[in-house]
Structure 1
Amino acid sequence: MLHNAAPDKSRQDRLMIGRPELALIGVTVLWGGTFLIVHHAVQQTGPFFFVGLRFGTAALIALPLAWPVLQGLTMRELLAGLVIGLGIFAGYSLQTWGLQTISSSTSAFITAAYVPLVPIMQWIILRRRPRLASWIGVALAFIGLLLIAAPEKGLALGRGEALTLISTVAIALEIIFIGLWAGTVNVARVTLVQLAATSLFAFACMAPAGESVPPFSWTVVLSACGLGAITALIQFVMNWAQRTVSPTRATLIYAGEPAWAGIFGRIAGERLPQAALLGGLLIVAAVIVSEINFERKKEPGPI
């Protein structure tokens, strides 16, 4: 009886959903709704200006929360915020750029491909060898991406799809970096730094990219400021929750993001071709499969 009790308790702990997990589930719902908002807003503005305004607003919202403890900012926290901010900037800028030419549902499904990438990036950066499930997930995601591109472009990804696919690498790195630092830094200070850094990186890229400030538009302003508030909330929740939730478990929860984006997109009138929809489902399957442990641990035998 004593030998069987420990494994049962371990399995129960792994299946338990606590407040951090529920918070991350809420993040996926908010995330899913942002794709449609960005898709409409970037028809009137460039990607770098929109990302800069969005994350600048988020930084201003986060400032009052971080101000009481800001004086204690350390070099480690500054470095963590800058590195995470660079990942956020690259991921969101490329994703926003891609949303100028592809639907919000397509963008969300392609973005979900960052999940099976996380174990691969961990292998490259942390020398943690991926499990068999990770490689299966990557293969499913690759097939899904081909199906998403196939309906209109043969087997070639268009510019929007390609930009979004590249953004998944940056998003995977962001998840890993948050997991590396989340348990050793002050959440409020690092969140403020990463939000401000993302905004500054985006505004700094406007001139080199030949992007100018667009004419005033309430659609752009309200979308960017509203998403800024959501972004601030999301980053605080991610940094708080991933203090106790592992990067791999967090990415499994994030698998719900494209499903919510697809629901919101369908309500707005988006209709994906059947092949693209199948490709999206394969990517979601890749997210889930990549987190399955096919290797069964040996149970201790009786003494």
Structure 2
Amino acid sequence: MPVARRTDAVLLLVALVWGSSYLAAKTATVALPVMAVLFARYGISALACAALVASRRQARRWTRAEVRVGSLLGVTQAAVLVVETYGVAHTSAANAGLIISLTIVLTPVLDRTGSRRLPGRFFLAAGLCVLAVALLTSSTGLHAPRLGDMLILVAAVVRAGHVVLVGRLTAGRSMDPLRLTTAQTVVGSILFLPPAIAHLPDLAHSTATTWTQLIYLALFCSVFAFLAQTWAVQGTSATRASLLLGTEPIWAVATGVSLGGERLTLWATLGAVLMVAGTYWGQAIERTHRTTAAKTAKEDEACPVMTPTSA
């Protein structure tokens, strides 16, 4: 298989794994409390990451920046998963995967590092996503928003903030992605241990099916997905990678309907289509805007404006 096709296949697999994580998390929270699920997910991930770090030959020592940044990101990532997991426990896996994709259009709004404002068309795309959320949350008729849908909406905002923080804390720094991930999982394990202690006996006596779901969430949806994404994006363009990873909500709907027995009404289907279209549109607008801004900045540096001087 050519390298390009192999890279595309890996990115699609990452998107599929992330899309299926909502159904796995929802099913696991039926058998166990949310905090027990999160502790198990983080604990297994931390052990796997630590084993990978230890297996490296001639590994350099950890830097203070890696520990400091990884610990801070561990707190924000834990906040994302707390809200997201409680949300998916109270809504469908399909809805969760679709609404969380709002992160794509929320991230540029929260990231104000650029010198130029986002074009108006971007906010039209964001408005389309908001309309999609309204259709998804009221797909069975007009009613108050469901708790789960609202929590997933909050999780999308928190995740966007986390993504912005990752970019700002790692920009211009040489940091090992595996060590950052290890630090995050260790911090998450420590944070979730106290509220999960009372449920450890239930966790220990969980069925093989539940443990399979927990291991899948930890090793595939966390460790594998992150490392595979890091490897794959080095062999393709950022545009192609974002398009392939952007199929995550499609896989969330596919797994929820085919494996979880969930049903989409006509209005929910329309909302799903609008959500995917809105996020792709917004992503394309932001990418073009960022590329144009970077090109203009380089041109300005190459041809500085000459200001007249007084005689």
Task: Identify the TM-score tier after normalising by the shorter chain.
Answer: 0.7 to 0.9
Paired residues of 1:136 and 1:289 also in contact (CA < 8 A): no
- Match of residue 33 from structure 1: 20
Q: Tell me how large the CA RMSD over aligned residues is.
A: 3.2
2: CA distance, partners of 1:120 / 1:59: 32
CA separation of 1:164 and 1:290: change in aligned 2, threshold 3 A: same
Paired residues of 1:58 and 1:228 also in contact (CA < 8 A): yes
Match of 2:228 among 237, 246, 261: 237
Identical pairs, percent: 24
- Match of residue 283 from structure 2: 291
Match of 1:202 among 192, 198, 217: 192
CA separation of 1:245 and 1:87: change in aligned 2, threshold 3 A: farther
Q: Does 1:77 align with 2:69?
A: no
2: CA distance, partners of 1:86 / 1:21: 31
2: CA distance, partners of 1:135 / 1:255: 19
Paired letter, 2:80:
G
Rg larger in structure: 2
1: CA distance, partners of 2:66 / 2:195: 24
Match of 2:78 among 81, 85, 89: 89
Paired residues of 2:39 and 2:196 also in contact (CA < 8 A): no
TM-score normalised over the length of structure 1: 0.80
Paired residues of 2:104 and 2:283 also in contact (CA < 8 A): no
Paired letter, 2:158:
A
TM-score normalised over the length of structure 2: 0.78
Paired residues of 1:179 and 1:246 also in contact (CA < 8 A): no
- Match of residue 66 from structure 1: 53
Matched residue SS, 2:284: coil
Paired residues of 1:249 and 1:291 also in contact (CA < 8 A): no
2: CA distance, partners of 1:256 / 1:184: 30
Instruction: Please report how far the alpha carbon of residue 18 of structure 1 lies from its aligned counterpart in structure 2 after TM superposition.
Output: 8.2
Instruction: Please report how far the alpha carbon of residue 212 of structure 1 lies from its aligned counterpart in structure 2 after TM superposition.
Output: 3.8
Match of 1:116 among 72, 81, 105: 105
Aligned residue pairs total 280
2: CA distance, partners of 1:127 / 1:47: 41
2: CA distance, partners of 1:70 / 1:171: 31
- Match of residue 180 from structure 2: 190
Matched residue SS, 1:272: coil
Structure 2 alignment gaps of length 5 or more? 296-311
2: CA distance, partners of 1:131 / 1:249: 22
1: CA distance, partners of 2:80 / 2:115: 23
Paired letter, 1:291:
Q
Paired letter, 1:260:
W
Instruction: Please report how far the alpha carbon of residue 130 of structure 1 lies from its aligned counterpart in structure 2 after TM superposition.
Output: 2.6
2: CA distance, partners of 1:138 / 1:28: 22
Deviations 1:65-118 (A, max 9, x none): 112477611121112212322232122221111122211111111111111111
- Match of residue 8 from structure 1: none
Deviations 1:3-56 (A, max 9, x none): xxxxxxxxxxxxxx6876654332101111222111111012121221111121
- Match of residue 261 from structure 1: 252
Paired residues of 1:134 and 1:290 also in contact (CA < 8 A): yes
1: CA distance, partners of 2:50 / 2:243: 30
Paired residues of 2:30 and 2:89 also in contact (CA < 8 A): yes
2: CA distance, partners of 1:276 / 1:263: 14
2: CA distance, partners of 1:247 / 1:179: 15
